[in-house]
Amino acid sequence: MRPSDHPTIFQITEDELDLNALLDSITLTSTGAVAIFTGMVRGVTSRGEAHETVYLEYEAYKPMAESKMKQVADEIRERWPTIEGIAIVQRIGRLYPRTPTVLIAVTAAHRDTGVFDAARYGIDRLKEIVPVWKKEVGPNGEEWIEGDYIPKAGE
């Protein structure tokens, strides 16, 4: 399969993340390694200001979010040309602790071709440029979480 045919999935969804189905859709016959990152709703936070989370409410600017996810996938391919399939999926809506919220998966022929770094890059970039926000609801109130990254021209 030529690299231009390599599967790329980018999606904002309200449905439960189906790891097996996503993995299946980015696996080629030449695939021998996958790195998967999944973010979870953390119920108890001890780093920084310790607090508890009852649930998170996610929202997205869906068409732009999906186009920025595609851009993140393109950036991954530019940096790690050996990557085969890429899946970038963000779940939105009300999500409770212990629930997967986001999934970044990259496949390649071998594990020493950058899959770990590519998955790390994917989640870091998603948190910088993909327009998704979350409101944190705790036992004593709610608060929108705002990022601190200001995109530069051309991002």
Partner 1 sequence: MTRVKILLFATLRERAGGAKFIELNLPDGATVQALKMQVAREYPALEQNMRSVLTTINREYAFDEATLPDGAELAMFPPVSGG
Q: With DSSP H G I counted as helix, E B as strand and the rest as coil, what are the percentages for the chain, rounded to 5?
A: 30, 35, 35
Beta strands 8-13 and 55-60, pairing class: unpaired
| Greatest CA separation for the chain | 54
Binding of partner 1 by 96 (CB under 8 A): no
The CA distances from residue 86 to 38, 48, 76, 130, 154, in Å, are: 14, 33, 9, 16, 22
User: Interface with partner 1 includes 26 (CB under 8 A)?
Assistant: no
Residue 22 in contact with residue 105, Cβ under 8 Å?
yes
Exactly one of 135, 137, 138, 139 binds partner 1 (CB under 8 A); that residue is: 135
Chain positions 37 to 76 lying near partner 1, rule: CB under 8 A, are 39, 58-61, 63-65, 67
Measured distance CA(21)–CA(78) in Å, rounded: 26
Q: Does 147 help bind partner 1 (rule: CB under 8 A)?
A: yes
Q: Does 138 sit near partner 1 (CB under 8 A)? A: no
Stretch of residues binding partner 1 (CB under 8 A), selected from 26-34, 45-53, 74-82, 120-128: 120-128
Based on CB atoms, which residue is closest to partner 1, 37 or 116? 37
Under rule CB under 8 A, how many of the chain's residues touch partner 1? 33
Q: Which residues bind partner 1 (CB under 8 A)?
A: 39, 58-61, 63-65, 67, 90, 101-102, 123, 126-135, 144-151, 153, 155
